[in-house]
Amino acid sequence: MGRLIIEVLLRFYPRGFRRDFAAELRGTIYRDRHRARNRAGFAWRIRFWTSLICDNLGAALRLRWDELTSQDNRLGFSGTLLDDVVQGQRIFLRNARFQLAAVFLLALGIGSSAAAFAVVDGVLLEDLPYPHPERLVQVGARPPRNPEWMAPLSEATFLAMRQGISQLEALAAVSSATRVLRGIGDPAEVWVGTVSTGYLDLLGARAFLGRTLQPSDHEAGATKVAVLSSTVFENRFGGDPNVLGSVLDLSGEPVEVVGVLSPEFLPPPGIRGRTAALWTPLGLAQRELSPILHLDVIGLVRPGATPATIQEEVSRVLAERRPAETPAALRSDGRVETLRSRVLGDTGSAILLAQGGLVLLLLLTCVNVASLLMARASARRPEMAIRSVLGARRERMIRQLLSESLFLAVLAGGGGVGLAVALVRWFKAMAPDGIPLLPTVTVDGEVLAFVLILSLVSSVLFGLLPALTSSRVDLAGILGKSGPGRTDSRAAAATLRFLVVGEVSLAVVLALGAGLLANSFFHLTRVDLGFQPDGLATMRVEMRGSDLNRENPGPFFRQLLDEGREISGVSSAALAYAIPILGHGWSGPFTPQDLDPSFGDHGVSVNINAISEGFFPIMRIPILEGRPLQEEDGEGGEPVVVVNRAFVGSYWPHVASAIGRTVEETGGRERRIYRVVGVVGDVRSRPGSGAEPTIFFPVDHLPDLGVGMSLLVRAEGNPTQLAAPLRDLVRRLDRSLPVPEVTTLTSLVQNSVVEPRFYALLAVGFALFALILALAGVYGTTSYAATRRTHEIGIRMALGADRGRVLRGILTGTFCAAIAGVTLGLLGGGLGAKYLGGFLFGIEPLDVPTYTVVALVIGVTVITSAFFPALRVAGLNPAVSLRREA
Amino acid sequence: MTVTPKTLQILMALAEGPLHGYGIKAAVEDRTGGTVTLGAGTLYEGIHRLLRAGWLVEVEGGIEDAPPPGGPPRRYYALTTEGREAARQELCRLAEVVRHGEAQGLMEDVS
């Protein structure tokens, strides 16, 4: 591609110069390029290409200018491409305002589509940054009740698969958990990725310092070691290489730092360990295997094998393992998917959608500039006619018009590159976390090439249409009967009207998309979460980080709760294992009494939460039946639970009252039976999701879960003011704990809709661009058409036509075009809206109010934008309007 | 022909002997420590103008500087007497400017 750009640049030089210097110039450019390539990095590439283009275009234009103005050449106009460009430049200066508008609009379109290209290219088309990306797969289980989920595997199953699947060349597993990191600086909570042998190698992770993990680290009796991510190495250890060999305290366990991973290593998004600050060996040989399903497993497919055939083998291994596994793993089929599709997930469609919007926008830009140039070209028909009378050939005139638009396109391309860089930067800053590979997206040489092609193609397109119509000069028509350029040819007027229809309909499609997404976002923010987040602050305390209270956290949490209530400004407080919006939830297998046999005989997996008394009132979750949990329900009392409405609806749909019924815990070592004492309202874990069946236990009943709890406080005033006293409280009660973050529930709720808000904003941005472009286009074309008819209108008014009639005459065409455009746009938008379905919440893709509002807003603005220029012409004094073109 | 800063750089690069185009570029970058760089276009535009003004001539290159295999033959450029004179005049003019600056105490902090 770069070669093509260089060759195109060389064509800009005058022929004589090219003959003398092209070979040398080319050689020098290639040597420069070679040097720029060795200095890897995006900034250098950008710098190289921009300076190359500016330098050569500048030199070429100066030489051309010299040639044009030097004595011996003045008359011998050599007739090459660049002469036309220079001519175009003059014409540009003559109509600066019009041309600037065209350049601006074109730059807008080119910039936005180049940015979209950069993102789509980087996220969807680029290979994953691992060795053999096309052969990497994720292996997991497909739970029958949740077939969309890639369920993790147990350690024993992973080992069995390593032995039993012949079509995989390698198989490796990863899990992750938070730990408290002590050693240098304050204690901090970090994510730790624990990996099987070969995991880091499979992803091609290299050590920046020291080494990565090796098989001997996993053996029984090996020293506990860890490898740091480059981020934590920079941020926490200040990039100090002496960290190698030091011993860190990881939740009480000493681990030796043996290496730092290179900054290029990007853990696969969507798979455990994506935010890992450090990596430790899973060490399956060092301990008893855990029955928990906690491993994400990736494999390297042997050449020739396909995910489908491997899936059979995976299912076979799962079936063999079944008798030994916990109930949660039962009846799951195997699931094998390429790592690529796992990493991209849903964002692929979101990005395609954004891309679709941008393509529409680009189309709109093209139509827009075409209509402007078209109008312009008609205005120059007299000039063309005179030239043709003086003997200019048609191809020469077409070339002239083409090179004028080439000049526009080059300017717009330059502006477009700037805009693309800005937009990509904005997109990366605004985009919600979790768009995979987005950090690797840059505006690189390929994108620049894309911009170049785009500007050239658009210049040809824009140039060609007006060139063809206006160079087909009807001499008699223009110079003869009606005087120079007095009225438009019917064909030109029809083309203009056609372009207006196109513009309006494209704007309607974009505005519809934006309207639907914005409306859906509005619904999302107003959804009833089932609890009242206002005025609540929360902090999470993980007891595994404590040296003092880890063994017996109960009294600590009790004290935390009691003293939390005493903080001034706190009106009430409660403890909970999981805060709905935070998603620290846990689930486990239970068997509700008289469970319908269709659920099987191994129980059902339900969400578990452990709460203190006062949780339901503080969250304002309604008690629908029975009573809430009370302090006496803790240790020693009868084992009781509260369930939510979704639980009753799912498992006891025909039962008159859930109170007094029992639930059996199926997963634990002993089968405990709990009695239901209350039913509470449903809570959504986030605005877009539904409520899931949940069992609430008293805190003290579940010592396993009690190691991490969130303290919730309701503030009398502003909940953010409670942050400092709450943190002080933790410091005072347990010095060894990492000091937790305090957040308000309102901000958590807002964060949970960041993604839909981003898409809505993006769509509204598109729609605004689109509306501006469409209005500019309609205004421009109407104003042009009206001005062109000044002479005719002058005559008609001089002959006594009244103003209203004239106005109507000018506006009728635009009215019809606007109505046709809106209708077409509504039809197109309606057809396209079904692709938006997955992004909409609370409204249908064919939401009538949205369609009505969009149609009205666009229709009215379009007609208004046509009204002003028409009014101006109709308001002219006939004498003035006749004199204007005389 | 006026001597722009970049043409002066080219003239100065050739003061010690003939060079080919890329050699001029490298010499300028070497001498200024990379603070002045000549883009390929600017470089050959300058050479073209200087040739036309008669300040440069094309000369035969040495054997040891054979072009890279497959590359175009290298053309060497040398200063003419007029070119040397033009550079001298421009440098004197600049020196004059520097002297004025010194006299006005503008350069005191610069040792």
- Calculate the CA dihedral of residues A48, A49, A55, A59 and round it to 10 degrees: 140
In chain B, residues with a C-beta closer than 8 Å to the C-beta of A29 are: 40
Q: Which residue among B40, B47, B48 places its CB closest to the CB of A55? A: B40
Checking if the pLDDT of A606 tops 90, the result is no
Q: pTM (2 decimals)? A: 0.56
What does the alpha-carbon distance between residue A678 and residue A660 come to, in Å, rounded to a whole number? 9
Q: What is the dihedral of CA A470, A475, A479, A480, to 10 degrees?
A: -140
What pLDDT is recorded for position B93?
92
Q: Mean pLDDT over residues A505-530, rounded?
A: 83
Decide if A26 and B75 are in contact by the 8 Å CB cutoff.
no
Q: Does pLDDT of A9 surpass 60?
A: yes
Contact residues, chain A, for B52 at CB < 8 Å? none
d(CA B107, CA A126): 55
Residue numbers in A near B48 (CB within 8 A):
17, 20-21, 63
- The residue among A8 and A380 whose pLDDT is bigger is A8
Residue pair A672/A664 in contact (Cβ under 8 Å)? The answer is yes
- Which backbone phi and psi does A180 adopt, to 5 degrees? -95, 125
User: Which residues are CB-contacts of A7 (< 8 A; sequence separation ≥ 6)?
Assistant: none
Q: Which residue of A24, A33, A65 to mutate against B (max B Cβ within 10 Å)?
A: A24
The pLDDT value given to residue B9? 92
Within 13 Å and on the Cβ side, how many CA atoms surround A137?
25
Distances from the Cα of A554 to the Cα of A145, A702, A727, angstroms: 35, 10, 19
Instruction: Look up residue A438 and give its two tokens.
Output: 């987005």
Q: Worst-scoring range by mean pLDDT, A646-655, A714-723, B56-65?
A: B56-65
Name the residue facing B44 among A9, A24, A57 (closest C-beta): A24
**Per-residue confidence band for A578, with pLDDT thresholds at 50, 70 and 90:** confident
pLDDT at A681 over 80: yes
CB contact under 8 A, B44 and A51: no
**Range in A91-95, A516-520, B57-61 the model is least confident about:** A91-95
- Residue of A5, A21, A63 to mutate, interface with B, max B Cβ within 10 Å: A21
User: Alpha-carbon distance B13 to B29, whole Å?
Assistant: 10
Interval A166-210: pLDDT, tens? 888 899 999 888 788 877 666 777 889 999 999 999 998 888 889
Name the minimum distance, in Å, from the CA of B81 to any CA of chain A. 23
pLDDT tens digits for range A286-319: 888 877 778 889 999 988 888 888 888 888 888 8
**pLDDT of A679 higher than 90:** yes
Q: Who among A27, A55, A60 is closest to B22 (CB)?
A: A27
Residue contact A28–B45, C-beta within 8 A: no
SS3 content of chain A, % helix, strand, coil (to 5): 55, 15, 30
Mean residue pLDDT of chain A comes to: 78
pLDDT (tens digit, 9 = 90+) per residue, A484-500? 444 455 666 677 778 78
8 Å CB contact between A489 and A471 = no
Q: Do B44 and A21 touch (CB under 8 A)?
A: yes
Query: Of all residues in chain A, what percent carry a pLDDT higher than 70?
Result: 79
Q: pLDDT, tens digit, for every residue of A237-296?
A: 888 888 888 888 887 789 999 999 988 888 887 788 888 889 999 888 888 887 777 888
Give this complex's ipTM: 0.83
CA atoms within 13 A on the CB side of A700: 16
Tell whether the model's pLDDT for residue A649 goes beyond 60. Answer: yes
DSSP bridge partners of A210? A259
Tell me if A55 and B44 make a contact (CB, 8 A cut-off). Answer: no
Helix and strand numbers, DSSP H then E, in chain B: 4, 3
What pLDDT sits at residue A678? 92
CA distance A345 to A138: 13
Q: What does the pLDDT read at residue A343?
A: 73
Does the CB of A10 have a partner CB in chain B at under 8 Å?
A: no
Q: Tell me which amino acid residue B104 is.
A: Q
> How do residues A74-103 score in pLDDT, each as one tens digit?
433 444 555 665 665 666 556 666 667 777
In the block, tokens 């206002």 appear at: A534
Q: Which residues contact residue A321 at a Cβ distance below 8 angstroms, ignoring those fewer than 6 apart?
A: A154, A156, A157, A160, A329
Euclidean distance between the first and final Cα of chain B, in Å? 34
Contact B25 A56 (CB under 8 A): no
A17–B25 C-beta distance less than 8 A: no
Q: Cβ contact (<8 Å) for A27 and B72?
A: yes
Q: Which of A144-158, A642-656, B27-41 has the lowest mean pLDDT?
A: A144-158
DSSP code per residue over A363-385: HHHHHHHHHHHHHHHHHTHHHHH
Quick check: B72 and A24 CB within 8 A? yes
Task: Tell me if A31 and B48 make a contact (CB, 8 A cut-off).
Answer: no
User: Residue B74: is its pLDDT beyond 60?
Assistant: yes
Tokens of A44: 């250098």
CB A873 within 8 A of CB A796: no
| A-B Cβ pairs (cutoff 8 Å, strict) | 56
Residue A524's pLDDT is 77
Chain A contact for B75, CB < 8 A? Answer: yes
